[in-house]
Amino acid sequence: MGINSRTGKDLCVHFTAAAVNMATSSSHSAVRRVAIFGGTHGNELSGVLLVKHWLKHGEEIARRSMEVRPFITNPKAVEKCVRYIDTDLNRVFDNQSLSGDQKGKVPYEIEQARKINSLFGPKGSKNGYDVILDLHNTTAHMGATLILENSRDDFTIQMCKYIQTSMAPESCAVLLIEHPGVKYATTRSIAKHPIGIEVGPQPQGVVRADILRTMKNVVNYALDFMQYFNEGTEFPPCSLEVYRVLEKIDYPRNESGDLGAIIHPSLQDQDWKPLNPGDPMFITMDGEVTCYEGENTVYPTFVNEAAYYEKNQAFAKTEKVTLMAQALRL
């Protein structure tokens, strides 16, 4: 069964406070320090290879007006080609983990998070890096994706718009993870303007040239944007269509927590495509289908991401939302 009409419409439109007076422009200070993080997850190899390459060939990412620093954030996980050693580095940049009052043996990633926070933060202070681009790969069919944490940050919205426009006709989706129930304390969150760069599909422990090239292009467009901004280029007011996370959906599971069903073939690889009421989501080994019973069309993403089986997430539901940013200049 399943209607599968693939005719989703936008659920609603949110405007940030910045949209109230589009005539004014916001003035920001120059971007001085930018970090490019790779290996936050040691088995996501496009970012690992690019950052290792740029550590030797810094000239490829150098821009006149700012410092650009490539950095491997989880070297032990990179060495073992695993997501993490003790705990997920991209979940432990909360104030409690960073503050250092944890008793007993400290997990490797917590130690590492504190080190990273002192080098590129501290989180929430004015001494933190201006921008951190954190490179990730997904096993899901998401293409190039920018992950945005704050819907009111005009600078980052303008940067996403610039990257999206430059990437065309290749698509570049923007995922907003601001939702209080779903938000997590990312490595990049210690910067004033954090951006995740997520590119897939790429299996864990594998590097694909097409995916690596896409990631490299996104990074270069991000750096170009910051260089133009520092040179005084004015960016006009803009709107940005984003997919805002609503909730995580787990696989059906049996009493012992094992998988009771898997992603249905008609949802597999359909990231960002509308999922309408009645559309299939899961199928059991006996062929029994579970359909989506919500009232509104949603847009699934991270569909069948390998790293999320342990996080009880089969995919994330998102809605389409339009953000607005004021004109931007130095």
Ligand X SMILES: CC(=O)N[C@@H](CC(=O)O)C(=O)O
Among positions 223, 307, 316, 327, the unique one binding ligand X when judged by CB under 6 A: 307
Residue with tokens 């501290």: 122
Residue 196 interacting with ligand X (CB under 6 A): yes
Instruction: Check if the beta carbon of residue 45 is closer than 8 Å to that of residue 269.
Output: no
Q: How many CB atoms lie within 10 A of CB 269?
A: 14
The residue range among 41-49, 214-222, 248-256, 294-302 that interacts with Zn ion, by the rule CB under 5 A, is 41-49
- Give yes or no: 67 in active site: no
Q: How many CB atoms lie within 10 A of CB 103?
A: 5
Q: How big is the site for Zn ion, counted in residues (CB under 5 A)?
A: 3
By a kind-dependent CB cut-off of 5 to 8 A, residue 147 interacts, out of ligand X, Zn ion, none, with ligand X
Half-sphere exposure of 88 (CA within 13 A, CB side): 10
As annotated, the binding site for N-acetyl-L-aspartate includes 83, 198, 308
Residues 6+ apart with CB under 8 A from 16: 151, 152, 323, 324, 325
Instruction: Check if the beta carbon of residue 61 is closer than 8 Å to that of residue 219.
Output: yes
Q: How many CB atoms lie within 10 A of CB 140?
A: 28
- Give residues 72-91 in contact with ligand X (rule: CB under 6 A): 90
As annotated, the binding site for Zn(2+) includes 41, 44, 136
**Residue window 157-186: x/- pattern of binding to ligand X, with contact defined by CB under 6 A:** -----------------------------x
Residue 136 interacting with Zn ion (CB under 5 A): yes
Q: Which is nearer to ligand X, 92 or 328 (CB)?
A: 92
Q: Which is nearer to Zn ion, 22 or 206 (CB)?
A: 206
> CA 97 to CA 89: how far, in whole Å?
11
Among positions 41, 193, 216, 264, the unique one binding Zn ion when judged by CB under 5 A: 41
Residue with tokens 């520092």: 230
By a kind-dependent CB cut-off of 5 to 8 A, residue 199 interacts, out of ligand X, Zn ion, none, with none
| Phi, psi for 39 (deg, rounded to 5) | 75, 20
Instruction: Check if the beta carbon of residue 323 is closer than 8 Å to that of residue 238.
Output: no
> CA 240 to CA 147: how far, in whole Å?
13
Q: Which is nearer to Zn ion, 109 or 319 (CB)?
A: 109
Q: Which is nearer to ligand X, 117 or 186 (CB)?
A: 186
Residue 198 interacting with ligand X (CB under 6 A): yes
Cα 82 off chain centre by: 19
Q: Which is nearer to ligand X, 197 or 328 (CB)?
A: 197
Interface residues toward Zn ion, by CB under 5 A: 41, 44, 136
Catalytic residues: 198
Interface residues toward ligand X, by CB under 6 A: 41, 90, 136, 138, 147, 186, 196, 198, 305, 307
